[in-house]
Chain A
Amino acid sequence: MRHLLTTESLTRAEIEELLDLADEFTDVLGREIPKVPALRGLTVGTLFFEPSTRTRLSFERAAKALSADVMSFSPSTSSLSKGESLKDTVLTLQAMGCDLMVVRHKATGAPWRVAEWTDCPVVNGGDGAHQHPTQALLDSLTVRRHFGKLDGLHIAIVGDIRHSRVARSDLFAMSTLGARVTMVAPPTLLPLDIDDWPCDVSFELDDVLGGMDVVYLLRIQAERGGATVFPSLPEYVQRFGMTRARFDRLSPEAVVMHPGPMNRGVEIAPEVADHPRSLVLDQVRAGVAVRMAVLFRLGQAVRTEVPS
């Protein structure tokens, strides 16, 4: 594996290897000195062209726990406003000694373009509504830890599927790991022509609720509520929100998940978010270990290429 750009092309063995590594790193993170020298001397660049404090912090925490150095780049502190092309930005960071790049961008495919231009391994930290592979890995790890496996589990992903990179990434990772995934959304929030996606589709959460082991709620962008793709937030909550009443109708072993940040009271009721069967904080914890696994695996390749 040279880059981690998408979950679409990952094999089951590749995903499981990363999750196994992440389990080891979870132990490392639990130690009194939660740090190992594995990537000492490497520099990880975090290029976040779209603001995201959580994901950036998670990657930086992971890099530092592996003893890598971190170079942080964001548009507000950059020359992008001066008209520098993305390519020039990337080559500049590489020339400064960046060995591995984590790229987040609002445009689909930006990390692929970066991978074309640099010699560094590239991790997709989220591109547009396309892919967010480390989110899918940390979600898969969270589910695997809770249930022991994903095989045979039934997972509903609920919300704005059309504009969600989380939904796309999770679908391909989780179905590759043997889970059955159902996408739940009103037609205007579902992508078109998805017959070849490995999932079922439902327009009604209540129709599928009872059979689910995991209900994964996506963030509803409040600004999308503006009467263009669905009528109003209260109507959305009525049909697709994980209310207390719906939570009570889940099977007693079922759990709820959310990629954060949550809109409490919209896609998830506050008492559901804080319930013991909400895995939201487990997801955040898994994030650092998963990103360590990814950086470690790709960082090994950097070292391999250095002639001894």
Chain B
Amino acid sequence: MAQVMSAEDLSRAIRRIAHEILERHRGADHVVLVGIHSRGVPLAEEIADAIDLFERVKVPVGELDIGLYRDDLGLRPTTRLSRTLIPVDLTSETVILVDDVLFTGRTIRSALDALADLGRPEKVELAVMVDRGHRELPIRADYVGKNIPTASEERVAVRLQSVDGTSGVWIGSEDES
């Protein structure tokens, strides 16, 4: 697979997204980051750390498993569920969903359904590290680390130090891994 973002690119993008969030919301009050399992959770934490660094504000970070909301259940016969944890009442908060790659939009659609069962936030936004195109639903991201044009059969892998032991973004064909 070919590396398209280095570790340094990635952390620069995270810092930029943190700045954009702070700018758009004039600070981070009433912002909750909710990471989508699995890579979205550490990404959300890194964004929260960056916000803390810039503004000395601890933004709450939640975790969302969308396994029970998928529309392709069974195409993934070994779905295992991860923890869903929303640390604060979402009413009148702005939730920023965080995921690694935005592709068809179906994961985000499932996440929005799951979120709706968990509370009624004032506003929901979406932050992704990579937008690779090929949307099948009317969904777009508010914060994007990098737009990477891809062929639909290609694979995009976002790797994070805390999970994978290395950081960066790779792109390659389906059968390589």
Contact = CB atoms under 8 A, between A and B. Distances in A.
Do A and B have CB atoms closer than 8 angstroms in the complex? Answer: yes
B77 interface: yes
Interface string B15-49: 00000000000000000000000000000000000
A28 B75 contact: no
Q: Which DSSP category, helix, strand, loop or mixed, fits chain A's interface?
A: helix
Given A302-B74, A304-B74, A36 B81 contact: no
B151 to A, nearest CB: 21
B68 interface: yes
B69 A37 contact: yes
Interface string B34-75: 000000000000000000000000000000010111100111
A300 B73 contact: yes
B117 interface: yes
Nearest to A35: B117
Contact of A31 (B65, B80, B81, B117): B117
B118 A37 contact: no
B84 interface: yes
A303 interface: yes
Interface in B94-126: 113-114, 117-119
B81 A301 contact: no
B177 interface: no
A301 B74 contact: yes
A300 B79 contact: yes
Contacts, number: 51
A303 B81 CA distance: 17
A306 B73 contact: no
B74 A21 contact: no
B69 A304 contact: no
A165 to B, nearest CB: 29
A17 B67 CA distance: 15
Interface in A7-42: 17, 20-21, 24, 27-28, 31-33, 35-38
A179 B118 CA distance: 37
Contacts of A36: 68-69, 114, 117
Contacts of A301: 74, 77
B112 to A, nearest CB: 12
Contacts of A32: 117-119
Interface of B: 65, 67-70, 73-75, 77, 79-81, 83-84, 113-114, 117-119
24 contacts: A20-B80, A21-B80, A24-B81, A24-B83, A24-B84, A28-B68, A31-B117, A31-B118, A32-B117, A32-B118, A32-B119, A33-B117, A35-B117, A36-B114, A37-B68, A37-B69, A37-B113, A38-B67, A38-B70, A296-B68, A300-B74, A303-B75, A304-B77, A306-B74
Top-6 shortest CB links A-B: A303-B74, A36-B68, A38-B68, A304-B74, A24-B81, A33-B117
